[in-house]
């Protein structure tokens, strides 16, 4: 899955994504009280384990997003 698609799914789930707070090619993702910085390379396919790790850090069940 591409990062852009993953971020769209997170937005639909209720996460807040702020591009201006990340450094370089990173974005900040907020979900409730949790936050995580994530690299954003729109056209790159990431390993599904990477997305599962981000979901775990945010406290989201990965099966609901992926």
The domain spanning residue 46 has which CATH number? 3.30.920.30
pLDDT values of the chain reduced to their tens digit, one per residue, 66 residues = 999 999 999 999 999 999 998 888 999 999 999 999 999 988 889 999 999 999 999 999 999 988
Where b means 16+ CB within 10 Å and e means fewer, 28-49 reads bbbbeeeebebebeeeeebeee
Distant-in-sequence, close-in-space partners of 25: CB < 8 Å, separation ≥ 6 = 39, 40, 41
Sign of CA dihedral 41, 8, 22, 36: negative
Q: Which domain holds residue 37?
A: 3-65
Please give the tally of structural domains in the chain: 1
């Amino acid at each position: 899955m591409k990062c852009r698609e993953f971020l769209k799914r997170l937005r639909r789930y209720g996460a807040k994504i702020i591009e201006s707070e990340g450094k370089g090619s990173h974005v900040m993702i907020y979900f409730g009280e949790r936050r995580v910085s994530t690299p954003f390379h729109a056209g790159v396919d990431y390993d599904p384990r990477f997305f599962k790790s981000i979901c775990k850090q945010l406290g989201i069940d990965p099966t609901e997003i992926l």
